[in-house]
Amino acid sequence: MQILTLTNYIKADLISRLSRAELPPESLTLAALSDHYQVSVTPIYHAINELIEEGYLYREKNRRLYVNQDKIGDAQTAAQSHQPAPPEDHFKRITDDLLAMSLNGESLFLREAASAKKYGISRTSLRNIFNRLAGDGVLEHVPRRGWKLRSFNQHDLDAFIEVRVVLELKALDLAKGSLDKQVLEKILAGNRVPETAEEPLQIDNSLHEYLIKQSDNYYIISFFDRHGRYFDLLFLWESNDREAAIQEIQQHQRILTALLNEDWKLARKELELHLRSNHPVLSQLKR
């Protein structure tokens, strides 16, 4: 029996639901889909990326996701078939374990045979997961030695944030003339502070992608595509802390309000504050 990761299950289920037009466009966000499937955003993140690569979804200039109706039309057969029950999320479990080791400052080599036995999966399945994590910068394959885990380093994070601040502020300057207020309003609506302790969080962090894309600068876009994946996973992990997530929502609200008011000076100030101060959990890890 084929072993499916939760990412593959979500991907197949999304294709089926999209082909039946069961999901409205506004539900195609990390936060909304995470809430829909009752999982972390990590498998959602990877499922969405695979659907984009395979042509089922695409991003417009506003960074919103849209369905490729021509491609999704080919999935009508899948829409009629029964979807299997969600499998154990091996990818999430392994990713969480490796991030925890990375955040503890561990830099070690992982052997495929031992790791596959530990997680109760085949070496082929494990290798697929490790290859994906290598693409995200978590692991590095070293011939004859195994897979080397990237150790979290506070200096490395600080250096990334310094460059990120410069490039995102530049992206904002370049994007001023091409920002769509309707897009900004939708992102703002997607960031809402819960009124009670039981209410789930509602976060839409697509503002950063939107500014970067609207900058229309290949080198800014390329930097984040190449160097941002490992830190994106860390930031997603950090958002599991409710207080950190609420702080993120509030900062997004202030940035977006300033952008909608075309108060560029305030928007730059709030954006820089957000980029420098939005990691209260990671900043406590002194490595």
Residue 286 confidence (pLDDT)? 52
Average pLDDT of 204-214? 91
pLDDT-wise least confident of 90-104, 138-152, 253-267: 90-104
Picking from 146, 133, 131, the residue whose alpha carbon sits closest to that of residue 98 is 133
Q: Contact at 8 Å (CB) between 165 and 276?
A: yes
Q: What is the pLDDT of residues 223-261, one digit of tens each?
A: 998 888 888 888 877 777 788 888 999 999 999 999 999
Residue 10 confidence (pLDDT)? 83
Strand partners, 146: 142
Out of 58-67, 73-82, 259-268, 275-284, give the one with best mean pLDDT: 259-268
145 to 89, 107, 132, 140: CA distances (angstroms): 27, 13, 18, 10
Residue 5 confidence (pLDDT)? 63
Picking from 253, 237, 235, 242, the residue whose alpha carbon sits closest to that of residue 191 is 253
**Distance of alpha carbon 136 from alpha carbon 139, whole angstroms:** 8
Q: What is the pLDDT of residues 160-176, one digit of tens each?
A: 999 999 999 999 999 99
Domains and CATH numbers, the chain: 6-79 (1.10.10.10), 90-149 (1.10.10.10), 154-284 (1.20.120.530)
Backbone dihedral angles phi then psi of residue 192, each to the nearest 5 degrees: -135, 125
Picking from 190, 269, 205, 199, the residue whose alpha carbon sits closest to that of residue 235 is 205
Q: Which residue has the higher pLDDT, 131 or 80?
A: 131
Residue 285 confidence (pLDDT)? 64
Residue 4 confidence (pLDDT)? 46
Residue 160 confidence (pLDDT)? 93
Residue 79 confidence (pLDDT)? 41
Picking from 34, 7, 55, 24, the residue whose alpha carbon sits closest to that of residue 204 is 34
Strand boundaries in 138-279, DSSP class E: 139-142, 146-149
Cβ count near 184 (within 10 Å): 18
Q: Contact at 8 Å (CB) between 274 and 267?
A: no
Strand partners, 140: 148
